[in-house]
Structure 1
């Protein structure tokens, strides 16, 4: 089995070929002239052929040296290209980013704010995974998550993005027909649309209207239940 060529020797050989002399190569690489000469001689022994014609005025590549130089040059250029891309990747993110959140939050809030991100990071392939069930980030089902509660996994890094406020809404048509809700005590005189099953337990807090104002612990019966926030909003807009 042929032993692989020593990369340091190849790098020094390439520098000598580019410079045309051991002296100039030594200045470029910040090495001594004798160190350059020794490494090139060792490489010639490794490949079994002379790589330079040595003259008083400098170095001239042999035919075999030309072949090795072209190959070494191609490899160096490819490595430099990779190095540049790696350096750019530190400043400019690239690749795929998978973001998971609930169906309602993703469709009603996040999707409205995606355009700026896409324009700012054109080299990122963004994938939104909308699911009311919490995906396991440790299993790489997604890269990051936007959630409506504290994460259950203690090792996750978290950042607070915003505060969610709960309000009562009705369409203008509904208010015109059934009147305006003036206080929490008047809810029983109105129709209520709430979040329905099946739903993860952490989303049941969205149904606070079912018990708002009740002191006996009982729940009022909603006129409609839907397990999708966008459909709930649409139903309210239609005056249900």
Structure 2
């Protein structure tokens, strides 16, 4: 099968149009169209449904696009490993983690990573879906459970708990709950029980809801919960690391919290020698160490 035709097919399928694919490839629309037609003829299959709004893959086209996507990811891996210098850290690093951890804990610290490695390009992908690292959907993952995929290097970074927090202003105006039953006099802000989240957090939320808080605000990620809490809307269920990042928050019913949630860093075995991955791994471990020290000092006071 002609590799060049496959490359052009992949660009068309990804872009959804001959014109956009041609722009990416520096080819005319007619040249792209000829190559796609030639590939269809060689396979004796129709790869695209053509209509006024663009191109849609046929079932055969979807099958071929899955194959070319896997090929593209493998080629990206090979290129990245070739580019990795023994002395320099540069190029793109795709990092995936949850919306809450990525936006609240990780993103504010990245300035330190860029200060050390200004040529590094981090693509931070925040979503609850677990991306497939061996298939190169991402280079590094930080997840709230131990990854189950094979051929991964994994390291436990720390543990977090889901606890309750509010602002001093909210507590001054509404009072501090003395028992969990006092939640009936407050607004609870939490991640929606229907949204994807760690099981320990879900168990805590379900328990709190049985105490019938006066009002409820549910959000589909912890960053949204935090923003609502910081604006004095109520008592929020949040990871305990927010107390370090936001010293103005007040712990509420500190004996009521979730079970420990492990935080793991993982990356494919094939990226063991990657300087970009090593730099990111070492950076996160240094920041975890500093976070633990800061947490100990806060608890002393």
Shorter-normalised TM range: 0.5 to 0.7
Q: Which has the higher strand share?
A: 2
1:142 aligns with 2:133: no
* Contiguous gaps of at least 5 residues in structure 1: 1-85
Secondary structure at 1:224 match in 2 = strand
Q: Give the CA deviation at 1:228.
A: 2.2
Structure-2 residue corresponding to 1:89: 85
Q: Distance in 2 between matches of 1:105 and 1:161?
A: 13
TM norm structure 1? 0.55
Q: Give the CA deviation at 1:103.
A: 1.1
1:125 aligns with 2:121: yes
Q: Give the CA deviation at 1:99.
A: 0.3
Secondary structure at 2:182 match in 1 = helix
Structure-1 residue corresponding to 2:184: 188
1:99 aligns with 2:82: no
Q: Name the Cα RMSD after superposition.
A: 2.6
Structure-2 residue corresponding to 1:179: 175
Structure-2 residue corresponding to 1:226: 219
TM norm structure 2? 0.45
Q: Give the CA deviation at 1:112.
A: 1.1
1:166 aligns with 2:158: no
1:157 aligns with 2:153: yes
Q: Distance in 1 between matches of 2:207 and 2:150?
A: 32
Residues 156-198 of structure 1 deviation map (CA, whole Å, 9 limit, x = unaligned): 2111222213321112232122211233343333221110165
Structure-2 residue corresponding to 1:17: none
Higher relative contact order (CA 8 A, sep 6+): 2
Residues 102-125 of structure 1 deviation map (CA, whole Å, 9 limit, x = unaligned): 111111110011011112122322
Q: Give the CA deviation at 1:155.
A: 2.9
Q: 1:239 aligns with which of 229, 232, 235?
A: 232
C-alpha distance 182-137 of structure 1, shift in aligned 2 (>3 A): same
Whichever of the two has the greater Rg, that structure is 1
Structure-2 residue corresponding to 1:205: 200
Q: Give the CA deviation at 1:226.
A: 0.5
Q: Distance in 2 between matches of 1:183 and 1:150?
A: 34
* Contiguous gaps of at least 5 residues in structure 2: 1-81, 234-301
The size of the alignment, in residue pairs, is 150
Residues 195-227 of structure 1 deviation map (CA, whole Å, 9 limit, x = unaligned): 016522x43532414404x9xxx5746611010
Q: Distance in 2 between matches of 1:119 and 1:157?
A: 26
Structure 1 consecutive aligned stretches of length 4 or more whose deviation exceeds 6 Å: none
